[in-house]
Structure 1
């Protein structure tokens, strides 16, 4: 009976999570990256090529665009290019938006709905991992935190690969930790396939090809296992399956091509692969240039391009300041203000509890040997998201998106559930406190929903204070265009709207009649009467190209609309667009 009620709760949480994602996907406009992902996904299916959006593997966008294959979506490939050093997907995505007009909102919604299973997978893994580590109640807490996480609700309702990569990477690490404890051919095959899917979803997980063997060796040393030959064979199969899956999704295109066919641009690659010739110019070492690529060429070129972007330099924003070189603590700060404070408190308390259990002789003796083995393997796989965080933090050339370290989030959620562990001091108090903080975290997130992309926790002052902390996809990614349209129809149908919008979909496609506000206005008092809408990222001073209602691109220099900072907003749309009203003067 208890198990049955437990399954009902689990299924109920997942169902509610899916409904929330579906709703969010329907009410939000395409964010900046989504038109490019849509056009890239369609090109993979129609042309069998993978040059568009090569900085990320194609799995998530191929899944997203499956429903669109059954529609009459219009495409325009006039800006298509397979140049390995360029990124034409954004121009092709812009053409896709123009070709479909208002239909782009429906197509984006359909593609987003197709990606909801990725988020459900992440919730299922969090539940099973939390239950395995700390018991059944902990599994429910971990699942609740995942299903209500503002990070997951915000990005899980998009067709971008962040949640897909996070969920599949989490599943691969979970299976690998289970394999370390109980190696078997069944788990080996499953782990290899899921590792491959993780590689196909997010290039971040290329580190697993190195980390898994290192973790295996470390585990052998710690447990002093002598059965290393069979486990070595199984590990080889895991890596081979992952590698084969990655090659397969690219249809083996570019596999075995010469290394010299890739125009490496990142400083890291050029440092290792290039050397000066007799003329003092840098060129690839001849011996390396002739070697065959062990991975698809588009994957390698995309990985290099992504790393070059991280190296920068690019203007980054944090706590009201812009810098060309970022901050090493940017992602740590982002997690601290974007994740719910209840989760952070629970994770800290659970860490203290685990240390007391492991360090206490009496409590340690009550923990079964099997659970100790699971704890060890799970703790070792925590190194995977830590490496992702370290690599991202080490590259301060571009600090724009906390989502780059999203793989850290599910580990925090599972750790936060540890207060329900039945061993250790103050069991009843701990369980009540854990459930209370988890409920508080879920409620706080749901109060902000569906504006989850713009969520900031109570430590940071809430979503209304987000403009002070971060920008871009952390608060304003162009997601609230449809809500602005609805606001205009309801609150100011007859007044003019002047709009500076941070996004790649022209507001006129949403049925919004608008004009561009003047730039560098010396005094707000000289503004024409009407409503003025300014995206948070432009209000913070970012340079961007905004579009007029007739589709013309107008360059917006840095601080072009910062003068609105002298005014108090009269209203807001989803925490990402500030609205200012200028009354008629008599």
Structure 2
């Protein structure tokens, strides 16, 4: 299964176009390898915001040949090839994550449960799509799962090596993706639960919790500083020049600590400042915004909070069979709760999901698709392994096999219909895929990665005109980016003003109209 999964991913990475985001991540990875981790501004706008040092791994495919040939120079086309090859490390990370899913689920629910969880992981179209790109997403999937796994192991064994692994994973998370900062309160919650369960005096519990937290803090600081190459570590708060309103306000509120050196590298701190600036800036302003003004449920993004955004993403972007399996797993677990050890096992899977999902739903205002919360899915796949033992407690094996095989075959066929291009996947709740744009006009289904495939389609259909900027008659293909005018350039306004319904589509990303 792992070999098949690897083969699928390695083939797909050669069929996808390099996106603008991938180029930026790759360039930042190269900067890290060149000892240049700084987060820069160009005309007052962040050049790098959410890019993190972990992407230096993807740039190794360029760095290693350069090591043996320092004079090596690549033109833009060769650099795009470098990015494509660099995707290999993302795929390797996805394969390593598959091992974590299999091992943890097997330890919890037996070999059948482990196999079931692994199958769900491998059939997830969203994990497939984002593990085929250069970026921080796939690393966040891996690090989040590893952190929770080692926290579970530490709770079970109380061995110091697992606390050190938790600390190391948390630190790596901070050089992988900024949203993994949310894992700290989750892990502290796990530690508090552990000392609460111990039969000790209160002062002993407090001392143990303090000692464990101190170890996590020290190791995290060491990993973060190492990742950012100790760049300007020790800079005082008053020496920072923040650009976001949030961080300027924080700087004023903590002015009493202005002279205190900060134990964090400057680019790590500025990364949060720049992301806050991007969140405060309305989308779609060319040269200022970090993302275009897509639409959601037919309404344009305006920077407002949409608390149900990620719930709708899960509803349409996750395969229906998985949704059935997940809710069945919850119901079966609840029915069998007297036989379970929730506070020792499943809390390490479900608490992170609940806390982080609610945090994103209530406080995030940058809507970049389901990818923002994908790092929670492996934990859900592992939890679904509990369905095997819980259902086998009530159902005959043959009936159970019939039901699960039917659901998995349904999911497999649904996902395979998108091969080799999984990012625009939507489930059968959107029956006609040319209508997917009415739900998602954003990075949920369009990320510029499908251009190679779209170009091949256009070559086979020479009668279709691609994004003509003047009014024409006949068939016209337009990307969602131009149809929704992400950057307000108005180049396809003549078409959108006609208010035509698309007659067809290509991978939901490119709409085809018949202009009378």
TM range (shorter): 0.7 to 0.9
1:478 CA displacement: 0.7
Secondary structure of the residue aligned to 2:175 is: helix
Q: For residues 207 and 395 of structure 1, do their structure 2 counterparts lie closer, same or farther at Cα, with a shift above 3 Å needed?
A: closer
Structure 2 counterparts to residues 403-414 of structure 1, below 5 A: 403-414=371-382
Structure 2 counterparts to residues 558-577 of structure 1, below 5 A: 559=493, 561-563=495-497, 565-570=499-504, 572-577=505-510
For the 8 Å contact 1:350–1:419, the answer to whether it is kept is yes
Aligned to 2:296: 318
Aligned to 1:420: 388
Q: For residues 308 and 167 of structure 1, do their structure 2 counterparts lie closer, same or farther at Cα, with a shift above 3 Å needed?
A: same
1:223 CA displacement: 5.6
CA RMSD of aligned residues (A): 2.9
Structure 2 counterparts to residues 35-184 of structure 1, below 5 A: 35-51=23-39, 54-56=48-50, 58-70=52-64, 100-184=75-159
Q: For residues 326 and 234 of structure 1, do their structure 2 counterparts lie closer, same or farther at Cα, with a shift above 3 Å needed?
A: closer
Query: Structure 1, unaligned stretches of length 5 or more?
Result: 1-12, 74-95, 276-284, 500-515, 522-526, 546-554
Secondary structure of the residue aligned to 1:579 is: strand
Structure 1 counterpart of 2:469, from 517, 525, 531:
517
Aligned to 1:32: 20
Q: For residues 352 and 133 of structure 1, do their structure 2 counterparts lie closer, same or farther at Cα, with a shift above 3 Å needed?
A: same
Q: For residues 223 and 349 of structure 1, do their structure 2 counterparts lie closer, same or farther at Cα, with a shift above 3 Å needed?
A: farther
Query: Structure 2, unaligned stretches of length 5 or more?
Result: 41-46, 68-72, 284-292
Structure 2 counterparts to residues 434-445 of structure 1, below 5 A: 434-445=404-415
TM-score (norm 1): 0.76
For the 8 Å contact 2:192–2:209, the answer to whether it is kept is no
The separation in 1 between residues aligned to 2:242 and 2:139, in whole angstroms, is 27
Q: For residues 54 and 246 of structure 1, do their structure 2 counterparts lie closer, same or farther at Cα, with a shift above 3 Å needed?
A: farther
Aligned to 1:502: none
1:485 CA displacement: 2.5
**Is 1:211 the counterpart of 2:186 in the alignment?**
yes
1:454 CA displacement: 0.2
Aligned to 2:44: none
For the 8 Å contact 2:28–2:37, the answer to whether it is kept is no
Secondary structure of the residue aligned to 2:261 is: coil
The separation in 1 between residues aligned to 2:400 and 2:198, in whole angstroms, is 31
**For structure 1, which segment, 174-183 or 238-247, has the greater mean C-alpha deviation from structure 2 after superposition?**
238-247
For the 8 Å contact 2:458–2:464, the answer to whether it is kept is no
**For structure 1, which segment, 210-219 or 247-256, has the greater mean C-alpha deviation from structure 2 after superposition?**
210-219
Aligned to 1:509: none
Q: For residues 293 and 564 of structure 1, do their structure 2 counterparts lie closer, same or farther at Cα, with a shift above 3 Å needed?
A: farther
Q: For residues 185 and 323 of structure 1, do their structure 2 counterparts lie closer, same or farther at Cα, with a shift above 3 Å needed?
A: closer
Q: Which string of whole-angstrom CA distances, capped at 9 and with x for unpartnered residues, describes residues 23-51 of structure 1?
A: 11100101231111122111221243332
Structure 2 counterpart of 1:273, from 251, 271, 282:
251
Secondary structure of the residue aligned to 1:33 is: helix
Aligned to 1:16: 4
1:477 CA displacement: 0.9
**Is 1:350 the counterpart of 2:329 in the alignment?**
yes
Q: For residues 133 and 562 of structure 1, do their structure 2 counterparts lie closer, same or farther at Cα, with a shift above 3 Å needed?
A: farther
